[in-house]
Amino acid sequence: MDSVVRTVNLSRFFGNTVALDNVNITIRRNEIFGLLGPNGSGKSTLIKILATLLLPSAGDAYVLGYDIKKDYMQIRKYINIVAGDERPGYGILKVKENLWFFSQLYGYGIREGWKIVNELIEEFGMQDFADKKLNRVSSGMFQKYNFVRGILNNPRLLFLDEPTVGLDVEISREIRNYIKSWIRKDPDRTILLTTHYMIEAQELCDRVAIIHKGKIIKIDTVENLLKLVSNEHIFEIKTFYIDDSSISEIKKIQGIKSLYSDNDPASGITKIRIVVEEESPIADVLSVLKEKGIKVVALSKEEPNLEDVFLYLVGSKLR
């Protein structure tokens, strides 16, 4: 079977709030399928439905050919979930004891569970903290443990819900490497990854669905999505802090297709990312900044990324 997940006009409402709106996606076997969208866009809701934890308000969904409404016990044999913002397990138990506990839930025998846990601890280089209590490990170690817990049952479909949220660059890279090597090892493995980090989506995903306010805006390969903005020029200007009214003024400059800004409170630097068809409006932007006495720290021309695609398709920034 080549389609691991298929949704048909899938919708979910919470009262008057629309969390998912007529979602139609197909995820193929052995691909890393990304759901890219800001917080509250419906990514986690979709995962909860596919992981048989939530029923849709309308529409249908099939995982490995099984209907999520009727055949949920069948589906549960083949899935697992890793959510970056959760702290599953028991702090009073050691890391390896927690893994053994979950191995029992996933159907292993008592001794078999210890065997697989010890193998995974070795494979993932967790010997240093396997004997530490879970409430004594760092966030990076915890996320490593959580990832290993997620693959304990060798799932055919692994849901990764923001797996690197809150982690530093080094650990995030390590987790991403685990993800890549795990899926490569078996052609029957498939991953549905939600993220609002464009680097993660760009590096990992074979195909990406851009989701906004519960609606799928576009599904394509990363390469094809980037082509959407390939004719545009993208500039990044770093300045000292700029207030919102100045940003609004810059947005009005003719020729600017889209723009978003980010303030870094730690450094006091504002990053402005601008998408333009021609390069000339950038001179106008610099003039406005000069008039307002705002010092430009850096100006660079950038390669387009998925954040720009999101900006181009949705009109607002990803985060």
Partner 1 sequence: MIKEIFKTAYARAYVRIKGVNRDVTHFIIDVFLPLLGISAILFAYKALNAPNQFLAIAAIGGAMIAFWYNVLWSMASQLYWERETGNLPLYIASGAPMTGVLLGMALGGAFNMTLRALGVLFATVYLFNIKIYLNQALPAFAIFVLTLFALYSLGMVFASSFLRFGRSISKVNELLGEPILFFSGVYFPIRVFPFTVQILVSIIPLALGIEGMRQLLVFGNPPLTILWIYLSLLILGIVFFYIATKMIKLMEEKGKITGTLTLKWE
Q: Tell whether residue 298 is a contact of partner 1 (CB under 8 A).
A: no
Residue written as token pair 């759901």: 35
Q: How far is the CB of 16 from partner 1 (least distance, A)?
A: 14
CA distances from 83 to 92, 197, 198, 228 (A): 21, 15, 17, 31
CB atoms within 10 A of CB 92: 10
Nearer to partner 1, 163 or 304 (CB): 163
Q: Tell whether residue 97 is a contact of partner 1 (CB under 8 A).
A: yes
Nearer to partner 1, 153 or 270 (CB): 153
Q: Tell whether residue 87 is a contact of partner 1 (CB under 8 A).
A: yes
CB atoms within 10 A of CB 13: 14
Q: How far is the CB of 183 from partner 1 (least distance, A)?
A: 20
From CA 43, how far away is CA 213, in angstroms rounded?
10
Q: Tell whether residue 48 is a contact of partner 1 (CB under 8 A).
A: yes
- φ/ψ of 291, rounded to 5, equals -55, -40
From CA 80, how far away is CA 86, in angstroms rounded?
14
HEC secondary structure over 260-308: EEEEECCCCEEEEEEEECCCCHHHHHHHHHHHCCCCEEEEEEECCCHHH
**Quick one: which of 9, 14, 125, 136 contacts partner 1 (CB under 8 A)?**
14
Q: Tell whether residue 271 is a contact of partner 1 (CB under 8 A).
A: no
Nearer to partner 1, 129 or 310 (CB): 129
Q: Show contacts with partner 1 in window 114-173 (CB under 8 A).
A: 153
Nearer to partner 1, 72 or 240 (CB): 72
**Quick one: which of 101, 114, 124, 240 contacts partner 1 (CB under 8 A)?**
101
Q: Which range, of 89-97, 174-182, 247-255, 278-286, touches partner 1 by CB under 8 A?
A: 89-97
- Bridge-partner residues for 309, per DSSP? none
Write out the two tokens for 305.
């990324």
From CA 45, how far away is CA 92, in angstroms rounded?
31
Q: How far is the CB of 158 from partner 1 (least distance, A)?
A: 12
Q: Tell whether residue 102 is a contact of partner 1 (CB under 8 A).
A: yes
Q: Tell whether residue 225 is a contact of partner 1 (CB under 8 A).
A: no
Residue written as token pair 């693959």: 151
Nearer to partner 1, 40 or 268 (CB): 40
Q: Which range, of 76-84, 229-237, 259-267, 306-314, touches partner 1 by CB under 8 A?
A: 76-84
**Quick one: which of 76, 215, 251, 257 contacts partner 1 (CB under 8 A)?**
76
Q: How far is the CB of 53 from partner 1 (least distance, A)?
A: 5
From CA 166, how far away is CA 174, in angstroms rounded?
14
Q: Tell whether residue 202 is a contact of partner 1 (CB under 8 A).
A: no
CA distances from 217 to 24, 184, 211, 232, 250 (A): 11, 29, 6, 20, 27
What is the contact surface with partner 1 in residues (CB under 8 A)?
Answer: 14, 48, 51-55, 73, 76-77, 79-81, 83, 86-90, 92-93, 97, 100-102, 104-107, 109-110, 153
